[in-house]
Amino acid sequence: MDEVFFKELDMLQSCISRMAESSFRIKGWAIAVFVAVLGLLPSRFDPRFVAIAGSLIVLMFWIMDASYLQQERLYRLKYQWVIKNRQKSESFVFDLNCGNPNTWDIEDGQEKYKYFKSAMLSWSESLTYCPMIAFYLIWALFLIGKF
């Protein structure tokens, strides 16, 4: 039982690490694209178009990153559930499907794990993506002459 238990925890930890790594890489790509769009495209295209397209690209990265953060949180919740309940039951051993966290008996703030918007509006996501979108929009307003 101990070997199976620790192997299952190891598998869940690798899923958590993979989600965190993917989130980190998406943030890196978002920042790289943000800088590239600002540095290269305004000289060839209408800057207002660049600001709108850049904002949409950042929004797409934000949505992808939030989905990885949501999955990471669900795997962390599953990890806690396995630690708490695996000794009681051996059903669904090595089940890496996070499924519906409402079926688990973890009381530790399940609401923050359920909704995609909680991941998208988390401080780590907001502090990364909101300034980029705000910069594009303020830049577009400057170009239109509203400021």
pLDDT in tens, 73-95: 888 888 887 887 776 665 556 66
CA angle 137, 39, 22 (to 5 degrees): 80
Q: How far apart are the C-alpha atoms of 78 and 85, rounded to whole Å?
A: 10
Q: Is the pLDDT assigned to residue 96 strictly greater than 80?
A: no
From the list 12, 17, 20, the residue with the least C-alpha distance to 96 is 12
From the list 89, 33, 93, the residue with the least C-alpha distance to 59 is 33
Among 7-21, 28-42, 70-84, 88-102, the range of highest mean pLDDT: 7-21
Q: How far apart are the C-alpha atoms of 49 and 111, rounded to whole Å?
A: 39
Provide the pLDDT confidence category of residue 63 given band limits of 50, 70 and 90: very high
Q: How far apart are the C-alpha atoms of 137 and 55, rounded to whole Å?
A: 8
Token pair in block for residue 18: 């993979």
- What 3-state DSSP class applies to 82? helix
- What 3-state DSSP class applies to 24? helix
Rounded to whole angstroms, the maximal C-alpha distance in the chain is 69
